[in-house]
């Protein structure tokens, strides 16, 4: 080989060629280096990127080893391919220099054609030629210039930058997450190695309990540790082991609201193994042991009632089951306080361990809920011989829920709630209510209301009573002795309050409260008495009650007016319907419908009148219960109720007849039925008119009588005030009195001056009203005279003057003189009352006389009508003479009836009903005569009208007889009320005198002081007035006619006179008080004897004779003649009984008298006893003589002629 370095000639010759080849070779080497750098950098960049991509795919997909092996093979194949196809060619890159020169000539004109040629010439060895040498020399000059900077290294630099970035990223990942980088590389390089990516989702087992009740669903629970739970898929694999074997099952778990995963699986075996997994991980298996849960095998309860109820309620036993079904509820509920014993048979329970606190174990295991969620501590016993037998005890209360929470093996609790419910109802307090009266009432002092209460209790009432308190303004309530009632499951308590006997006054309130006690007992404590709602009786005066009743009657009067007007419209409609029914061409259907409509309207009217009648009866009952006639209102109410009853009957009859005629279309019989209904409707209207007039009764005198009564009450109140002040001011002048007493005297004086002004006004109004009544067309008999007499009594007795004088004396503390003036004023008012009552007596006598005359006239008229009935029935239409003759006779009867009606009308409201009925009969007789004289003759109409006239006269006669009986009863009630009123006034004065005497009676052995002497003289004056009042009562005709009442009054006068002597002579002693008490008790006995009016069934009640005159046959205890007023016999009998009882009481009371006074007092009692026996015998004889004897009447007919 030729080496140019060894050949100097060659070296010098090759230098130009070398100058050309050297730069070209340098360029070729640079290009190869750049190309290698680019290809290697690309390999590095692409390799790292491929590895990262493979790792990312593996990280995202968690590729299995096989796929990772595929990835690795693909990476290796790609790397080899890159090396072979890209790197190795770059390594082998050596293009010819000519080609290099040609590429360098591009774009360089100075080298064009030179450099490639020189490279070629230099390589071929022609450089020895001069031309070649020149070419080479020239090319060598430009070669360095052309080759400089011609290699583009930018792609290599870019590839190097990419490789650097890839390496930097890898290094950064290795630094920041070396585990991730290592895992990614290792999983890629060693695909079959056990290298795992970190889990993206991870759960942990939440199965904390290692023991679970067998047979119940086992909750598989897992808690998420990593990852989004909402998008996580968690599965569980479990198996139930039985005899050590079981099949694995996979289930998907559900996300719960608390963020955990859960799935219920059946667990009926020995144990359960479970593991949880996500797509990224799987937990270790967990084992749960399955054991039997604690439970109640059987339970029973024994319920023993409380001791107080053991006689009423039996011991109960109940099967409670196992505490999970409906047997666990005991029904019906038990009585609160009962002892409950529950026997339990347990299974799979752990008894309390030794050393365990029994109280804590009971608190954990048992819970008893009572009233309103309260806890009841039970008593628990565990059978030592058999720990599965438990006994629980507690006292029943409220819901009574026994809840068990036993613990089994491993702390297992019951799978179901174990509870027994034994509800208890408390022993309800007894219920008590006052059923009569149903509401509070206003009553008078004379009333004796009955208070009835009823009580109930499931176990029985052990005690019941009614408490009564008297409430008086300004005073402490006064309680009366309670009245006991019955016992048992339904108790009845009844008490009658004799208001006068218990000492009430108008203005007081009597409070009645029923109370009961049952057998309930708890912890040795009984229940407080249960009280009813109070029932209040407000005590008012008789005049106030009369005002209330009159006010109510005024309302009823307006209602009666409306009823009369509406009934009149109905009657007119019926008459119009009857006329239309007889008219030719009348529509039968329309007429029948109209009759049916009118029938219904009349029926409703009858119902309204019935309600009106009940209202009247209620008012009358109220007066009767209060023991007063309401100044004669009771009679007006009775009369109005009778008229309402008659109006209702007539309206009902009109309705019936209209209904009977309705189906008859427009036939003659239907028209006749409608006419009959119209007549009944008119009769109902007339009865309502009579009712309206009856409610106007006594309006002339009522208001003035009430004013007189109120004046009497004001004088009595002023007298009480004066008496009260006198007790604090005896023996002192006005200047010596304290301010309180002076103020009390001034108030009493002012009240008396106001009463004096009222007395003057009342006297003036009596005179004025008397003149007005006298000018009326038909004034009530005796009313003007009674008013003038009352005004004259006030003037002549100086009523206003006496009251003014009493006022002045009261102011100056001249109490005794003031009381005398008050007494005279009270007597003047009493005279005025008597004058007003005298009008009633005169009216009663006039009414008796008139009733007798009218009854006789009605009997004669009825006989005349009955005599004409048969001849009229036998008349023939052709016999004109006979018809005219009978028509004249019937017309004469009509005139007689009209005269009787006019006479009855003169009797005032008492005979208004009689007058109406007789007037109606006169019209019917006139209609009968008109029918006989009509052309053609209306024989049927004449007979019908005549028969109706007979019925009207019969009703009038019955009404007259009833009016006579009512008048007699009213007169007897009036006398009774007058006597009771007089005796009540005397009783009040006597009680005041006796109370004053008791205060001044000196102690035994002590003389009376000056103050007592002055007070005794004052009381003597008061006692003397009592004597005078008793003597005035004895002078009454009715009292004088009764031996019993007269004798009782004589005894009282004697006792009162003796007491007056003791007081006047300053010899006041216990005997004086006993004499006064004797008078007081006698008066009370007389009031009690006169308490109730005689009832129709009373065998001793006086009945009017058959003529309606009201004359009684006997006179009681030996009375006077026929026309004399007398005391009712039943009142005499009661007085006889009371007098006998008082003799016994006075005999027993005589033991308290000193020896010196006892003998004389017992002598008086013996004389009284003898007189009572004598009076009793005389009363019996008088009663025998007064019994009516039947007297046969020869030839008397059994009834009227038909």
- Who contacts 943 (Cβ-Cβ below 8 Å, separation ≥6)? 869, 872, 873, 928
Q: Check residue 784 and give left, alpha or beta (phi > 0: left; psi -120 to 50: alpha).
A: alpha
Percent helix, strand, coil in the chain (nearest 5)? 60, 15, 25
Distance CA 439, CA 422 (A): 42
Classify 1038 as helix, strand or coil.
Answer: helix
- Who contacts 725 (Cβ-Cβ below 8 Å, separation ≥6)? 741, 744, 745, 748, 810, 815
Per residue in 171-182, pLDDT (tens digit) is 887 788 887 888
Closest-CA residue to 445 (of 535, 518, 544, 375): 544
What does pTM read for this prediction? 0.51
Distance CA 123, CA 178 (A): 58
Residue 785: HSE in the Cβ half-sphere, 13 Å Cα cutoff: 10
Q: Tell the burial category of 327 from Cβ atoms under 10 Å away from its Cβ (0-12, 13-18, 19+).
A: middle
Distance CA 339, CA 335 (A): 9
How far CA 174 is from CA of 76, 127, 871, in Å, comes to 22, 61, 153
Residue 41 near residue 35 (C-beta atoms within 8 A): no
Instruction: Determine the pLDDT at residue 120.
Output: 59
Instruction: Determine the pLDDT at residue 1134.
Output: 67
Q: Give the residue ranges of DSSP H helices in 583-632.
A: 588-625
Closest-CA residue to 738 (of 729, 747, 749, 746): 729
For strands 271-277 and 235-241, give the pairing.
antiparallel
Q: Tell the burial category of 453 from Cβ atoms under 10 Å away from its Cβ (0-12, 13-18, 19+).
A: buried
Distance CA 558, CA 738 (A): 56
Q: Tell the burial category of 202 from Cβ atoms under 10 Å away from its Cβ (0-12, 13-18, 19+).
A: middle
State the 10-residue block means of pLDDT for the chain, 1202 residues long: 46 58 70 80 85 83 83 85 82 71 60 58 57 59 57 77 84 82 82 77 87 90 89 92 90 91 90 90 88 92 91 91 92 92 92 81 91 89 91 93 90 90 92 91 89 92 93 88 90 90 88 93 88 93 81 83 87 82 70 82 88 87 79 75 84 82 53 76 78 63 73 79 69 69 80 86 84 67 76 85 84 78 83 74 69 85 87 77 83 85 72 81 84 79 85 86 76 74 81 83 69 78 83 77 76 85 81 83 78 48 43 39 53 69 71 68 72 72 62 42 35
For strands 295-304 and 286-291, give the pairing.
unpaired
Distance CA 888, CA 425 (A): 89
Task: Please work out, in degrees rounded to the nearest 5, the angle formed at the alpha carbon of residue 834 by the alpha carbons of 831 and 835.
Answer: 90
Residues in the chain: 1202
Distance CA 17, CA 356 (A): 116
Per residue in 771-803, pLDDT (tens digit) is 877 776 555 656 777 788 888 888 888 888 888
Strand partners, 240: 272
- What sign does the dihedral 730-735-737-739 (CA atoms) show? positive
Distance CA 1135, CA 1145 (A): 15
Strand partners, 282: 277
- Who contacts 801 (Cβ-Cβ below 8 Å, separation ≥6)? 756
Retrieve residue 214's tokens: 């067998």
Classify 457 as helix, strand or coil.
Answer: strand
Fold of 295-425: Immunoglobulin-like (2.60.40)
Retrieve residue 424's tokens: 């208890």
Retrieve residue 845's tokens: 């006598």
Q: Tell the burial category of 692 from Cβ atoms under 10 Å away from its Cβ (0-12, 13-18, 19+).
A: buried
- What sign does the dihedral 136-140-145-149 (CA atoms) show? positive
Whole-angstrom distance between the N-terminal and C-terminal Cα of the chain?
196
Torsions phi, psi for 438 (to 5 deg) = -75, -20
Distance CA 282, CA 271 (A): 21
Could you state, in order of their start, the residue ranges of all structural domains in the chain? Answer: 8-189, 202-291, 295-425, 431-540, 543-697, 845-959, 1001-1187
Closest-CA residue to 502 (of 472, 534, 532, 461): 472
- Who contacts 827 (Cβ-Cβ below 8 Å, separation ≥6)? 797
Q: Does the domain formed by 431-540 have CATH 2.60.40.10?
A: yes
Closest-CA residue to 675 (of 534, 779, 593, 581): 581
- What sign does the dihedral 828-830-836-840 (CA atoms) show? negative
Task: Please work out, in degrees rounded to the nearest 5, the angle formed at the alpha carbon of residue 636 by the alpha carbons of 632 and 637.
Answer: 110
Mean pLDDT taken over the chain: 79
Residue 112 near residue 104 (C-beta atoms within 8 A): no
Neighbours of 626 (CB within 10 A): 24
Instruction: Determine the pLDDT at residue 782.
Output: 66
Residue 1129 near residue 1178 (C-beta atoms within 8 A): no
Instruction: Determine the pLDDT at residue 594.
Output: 83
Residue 300 near residue 354 (C-beta atoms within 8 A): no
Distance CA 997, CA 1070 (A): 9
Residue matched to tokens 């409260």: 513
Closest-CA residue to 956 (of 826, 820, 865): 865
For strands 334-335 and 424-425, give the pairing.
parallel
Closest-CA residue to 1134 (of 1013, 1031, 1000, 980): 980
Distance CA 347, CA 214 (A): 14
Q: Tell the burial category of 1111 from Cβ atoms under 10 Å away from its Cβ (0-12, 13-18, 19+).
A: middle
Q: Tell the burial category of 454 from Cβ atoms under 10 Å away from its Cβ (0-12, 13-18, 19+).
A: buried
Residue 442: HSE in the Cβ half-sphere, 13 Å Cα cutoff: 13
User: Under CATH, which number does the domain 202-291 receive?
Assistant: 2.60.40.10
Closest-CA residue to 225 (of 258, 256, 200): 200
Asked, colleague to colleague, whether 202-291 and 431-540 share their fold, the answer is yes
Cis peptide before 833 (omega within 30 of 0): no
Q: Does the domain formed by 845-959 have CATH 3.90.79?
A: no
Distance CA 204, CA 201 (A): 11
Retrieve residue 984's tokens: 């009540």
Distance CA 967, CA 636 (A): 11
Instruction: Determine the pLDDT at residue 188.
Output: 80
Element (H, E) at 479: strand 478-479
Distance CA 709, CA 546 (A): 11
Closest-CA residue to 744 (of 820, 810, 823, 808): 810
């Amino acid at each position: 080989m030729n080496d140019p370095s060894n050949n100097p000639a060659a070296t010098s010759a090759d230098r130009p060629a070398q100058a050309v080849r050297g730069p070209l070779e340098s360029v070729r080497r640079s290009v190869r280096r750049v190309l290698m750098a680019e290809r290697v950098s690309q390999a590095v960049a692409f390799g790292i990127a491929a590895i990262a991509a493979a790792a990312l795919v593996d990280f995202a997909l968690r590729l299995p080893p096989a796929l990772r092996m595929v990835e690795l093979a693909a990476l290796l194949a790609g790397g080899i391919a890159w090396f072979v196809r890209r790197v190795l060619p770059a390594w082998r890159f050596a293009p010819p220099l000519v080609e290099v020169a040609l590429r360098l000539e591009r774009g360089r004109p100075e080298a064009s054609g030179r450099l490639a040629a020189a490279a070629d010439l230099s390589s071929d060895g022609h450089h020895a030629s001069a031309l070649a040498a020149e070419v080479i020399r020239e090319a060598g000059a430009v070669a360095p210039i052309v080759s400089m900077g011609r290699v583009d290294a930018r792609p290599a630099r870019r590839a190097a930058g990419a490789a650097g970035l890839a390496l930097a990223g890898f290094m950064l990942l290795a630094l920041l997450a070396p585990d991730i980088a290592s895992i990614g590389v290792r999983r890629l390089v060693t695909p079959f190695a056990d290298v795992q990516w970190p889990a993206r989702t991870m759960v942990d087992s939440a199965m904390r309990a290692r023991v679970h009740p067998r047979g119940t669903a086992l909750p598989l629970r897992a808690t998420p540790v990593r990852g989004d739970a909402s998008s996580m898929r968690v599965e569980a694999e479990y198996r139930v082991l039985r005899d050590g074997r079981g099949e694995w099952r996979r289930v998907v778990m559900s996300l719960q609201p608390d963020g955990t995963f859960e799935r219920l699986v059946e667990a009926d075996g020995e144990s359960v193994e479970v593991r949880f997994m996500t797509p990224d991980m799987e937990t270790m298996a967990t084992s749960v042991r399955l054991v039997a849960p604690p439970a109640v095998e059987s339970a029973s309860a024994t319920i023993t009632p409380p001791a107080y109820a053991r006689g009423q309620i039996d011991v109960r036993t109940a099967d409670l089951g196992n505490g999970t079904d409906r047997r666990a509820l005991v029904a019906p509920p038990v009585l609160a306080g009962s002892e409950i014993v529950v026997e339990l048979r347990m299974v799979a329970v752990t008894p309390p361990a030794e050393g365990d606190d029994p109280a804590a174990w009971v608190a954990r295991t048992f819970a008893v809920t009572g009233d309103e969620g309260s806890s009841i501590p039970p008593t628990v016993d565990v059978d030592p011989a058999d720990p599965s037998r438990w006994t629980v005890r507690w006292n029943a209360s409220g819901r009574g829920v026994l809840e068990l929470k036993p613990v089994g093996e491993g702390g297992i609790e019951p799978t179901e709630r174990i509870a027994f419910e034994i509800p208890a109802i408390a022993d309800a307090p007894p219920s008590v209510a006052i059923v009569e009266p149903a509401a509070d009432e206003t009553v008078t002092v004379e009333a004796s209301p009955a208070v009835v209460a009823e009580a109930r209790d499931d176990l029985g009432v052990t005690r019941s009573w009614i408490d009564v308190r008297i409430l008086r303004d300004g005073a402490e309530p006064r309680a009366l002795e309670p009245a006991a009632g019955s016992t048992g499951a339904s108790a009845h308590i009844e008490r009658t309050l004799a208001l006068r006997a218990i000492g009430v006054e108008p203005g007081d309130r009597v409070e009645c409260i029923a109370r009961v006690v049952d057998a309930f007992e708890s912890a040795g404590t009984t229940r407080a008495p249960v009280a009813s709602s109070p029932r209040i009786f407000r005590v008012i005066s008789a005049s106030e009650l009369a005002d209330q009743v009159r006010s109510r009657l005024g309302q009823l009067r307006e209602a009666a007016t409306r009823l009369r007007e509406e009934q009149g419209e109905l009657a007119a409609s019926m008459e119009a319907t009857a006329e239309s029914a007889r008219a030719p061409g009348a529509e039968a259907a329309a007429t029948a419908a109209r009759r049916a409509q009118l029938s219904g309207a009349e029926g409703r009217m009858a119902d309204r009148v019935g309600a009106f009648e009940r209202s009247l009866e209620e008012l009358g009952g109220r007066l009767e219960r209060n023991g007063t006639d309401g100044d004669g209102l009771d009679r007006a109410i009775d009369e109005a109720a009778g008229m309402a009853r008659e109006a209702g009957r007539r309206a009902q009859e009109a309705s019936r007849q209209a209904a009977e005629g309705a189906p008859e279309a427009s036939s003659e019989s239907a028209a006749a039925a409608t006419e009959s209904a119209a007549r009944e409707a008119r009769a109902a209207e007339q009865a309502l008119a009579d009712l309206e007039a009856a409610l106007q009764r006594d309006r002339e005198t009522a208001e003035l009588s009430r004013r007189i009564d109120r004046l009497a009450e004001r004088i009595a109140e002023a007298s009480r005030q004066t008496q009260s002040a006198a007790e604090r001011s005896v023996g002192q002048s006005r200047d010596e009195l304290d301010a309180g007493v002076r103020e009390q005297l001034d108030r009493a004086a002012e009240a008396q001056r106001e009463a004096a002004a009222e007395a003057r006004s009342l006297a003036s109004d009596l005179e004025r009203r008397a003149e007005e009544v006298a000018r009326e067309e038909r004034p009530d008999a005796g009313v003007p005279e009674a008013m003038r007499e009352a005004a004259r009594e006030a003037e002549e007795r100086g009523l206003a003057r006496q009251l003014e004088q009493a006022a002045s004396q009261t102011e100056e503390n001249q109490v005794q003189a003031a009381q005398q003036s008050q007494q005279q004023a009270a007597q003047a008012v009493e005279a005025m009352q008597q004058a007003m009552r005298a009008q009633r007596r005169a009216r009663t006598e006039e009414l008796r006389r008139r009733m007798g005359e009218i009854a006789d006239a009605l009997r004669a008229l009825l006989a005349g009508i009955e005599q004409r009935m048969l001849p009229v029935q036998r008349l023939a239409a052709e016999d004109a003479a006979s018809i005219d003759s009978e028509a004249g006779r019937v017309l004469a009867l009509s005139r007689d009836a009209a005269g009787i009606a006019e006479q009855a009308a003169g009797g005032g409201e008492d005979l208004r009903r009689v007058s109406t009925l007789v007037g109606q009969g006169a019209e019917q007789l006139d209609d009968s005569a008109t029918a006989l004289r009509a052309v053609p003759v209306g024989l049927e109409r004449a007979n019908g009208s005549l028969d109706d006239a007979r019925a009207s006269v019969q009703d009038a006669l019955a009404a007259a007889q009833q009016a006579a009986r009512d008048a007699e009863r009213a007169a007897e009630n009036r006398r009774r009320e007058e006597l009771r009123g007089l005796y009540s006034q005397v009783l009040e004065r006597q009680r005041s005198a006796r109370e004053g005497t008791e205060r001044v009676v000196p102690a035994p052995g002590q003389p009376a002081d000056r103050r007592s002497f002055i007070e005794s003289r004052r009381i003597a004056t008061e006692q003397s007035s009592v004597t005078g009042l008793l003597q005035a009562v004895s002078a009454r005709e009715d009292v004088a006619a009764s031996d019993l009442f007269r004798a009782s009054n004589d005894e009282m006068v004697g006792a009162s006179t003796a007491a007056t002597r003791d007081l006047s002579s300053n010899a006041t002693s216990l005997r004086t008080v006993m004499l006064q008490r004797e008078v007081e008790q006698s008066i009370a006995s007389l009031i009690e004897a006169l308490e109730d009016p005689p009832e129709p069934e009373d065998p001793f009640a006086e009945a009017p004779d058959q003529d309606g005159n009201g004359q009684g046959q006997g006179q009681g205890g030996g009375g006077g003649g026929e026309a004399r007023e007398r005391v009712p016999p039943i009142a005499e009998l009661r007085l006889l009984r009371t007098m006998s009882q008082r003799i016994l009481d006075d005999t027993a009371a005589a033991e308290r008298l000193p020896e010196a006074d006892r003998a004389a007092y017992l002598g008086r009692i013996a004389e009284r006893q003898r007189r009572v026996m004598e009076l009793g015998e005389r009363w019996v004889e008088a009663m025998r003589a007064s019994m009516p004897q039947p007297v046969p009447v020869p030839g008397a007919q059994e009834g009227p002629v038909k």
